[in-house]
């Protein structure tokens, strides 16, 4: 995916590495404008320590974007994995949006935006996109969405 991103956006720099590796941060230097943690927090051994490491490559203008699955969907995703409808993943720590927000706070980040998206993970006879765009964003319904997004700054 990084190769695709580089091809689509040649003016930007993309880096990939083990977020828990202290040596990675020394090699990368920084600071970075945007750091994306997509489906990562549940796989970390120590979420708070890793988030604190991100502070070393951040400035006040840096935005950390944390994308994760809502715990409500855990049984559905595990069933989809078992049925071969979803790529298998290693065992995850299922964290709520509030858990992730608290970990960001403990690491010295301020959450500036919370969002929920993707109520229907499939196209659903062509109406999935419309449902996700218009219905999934409604105040109470959005809390049922598959994906949780947090945007934070140091």
* Residue 12, number of CB atoms within 10 A of its CB: 10
Which is nearest to 111 in space by CA: 121, 122, 103? 103
Which is nearest to 97 in space by CA: 77, 76, 69? 69
List Cα–Cα distances, 149 to 7, 9, 16, 78, 108, in angstroms.
25, 23, 20, 21, 18
The pLDDT, as a whole number, for residue 124 is 76
Is the pLDDT at 88 greater than 90? The verdict is: no
Question: What values do phi and psi take at 22, rounded to 5?
Answer: -60, -40
Mean pLDDT over residues 107-134, rounded? 89
Helix (H, G, I), strand (E, B) or coil at 105: helix
The pLDDT, as a whole number, for residue 100 is 95
* Between residues 17 and 66, the one the model is more confident about: 66
Alpha-carbon gap, residue 54 to 20, rounded angstroms: 10
Q: What percent of the chain has pLDDT over 90?
A: 54
The pLDDT, as a whole number, for residue 48 is 93
Helix (H, G, I), strand (E, B) or coil at 142: helix
* Poorest-pLDDT segment among 32-46, 52-66, 73-87: 73-87
Is the pLDDT at 122 greater than 80? The verdict is: no
Alpha-carbon gap, residue 35 to 16, rounded angstroms: 11
Question: Binning pLDDT at 50, 70 and 90, where does residue 128 land?
Answer: confident
């Amino acid at each position: 995916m990084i190769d695709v991103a580089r091809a689509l956006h040649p003016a930007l720099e993309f880096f990939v590495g083990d977020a828990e590796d202290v040596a990675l941060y020394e090699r990368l230097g920084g600071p970075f404008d945007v750091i994306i943690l997509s489906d990562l927090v549940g796989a970390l051994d120590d979420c708070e320590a890793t988030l604190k490491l991100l502070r070393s490559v951040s400035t006040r203008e840096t935005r950390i974007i944390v994308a994760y699955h809502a715990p409500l969907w855990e049984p559905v995703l595990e069933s989809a994995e078992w049925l071969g409808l979803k790529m298998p993943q290693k065992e995850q720590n299922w964290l709520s949006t509030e858990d992730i927000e608290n970990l960001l706070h403990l690491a010295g980040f301020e959450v500036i935006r919370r969002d929920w998206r993707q109520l229907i993970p499939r196209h659903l006879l062509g109406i999935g996109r419309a449902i996700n765009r218009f219905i999934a964003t409604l105040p109470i319904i959005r809390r049922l969405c598959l994906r949780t997004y947090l945007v934070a700054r140091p």
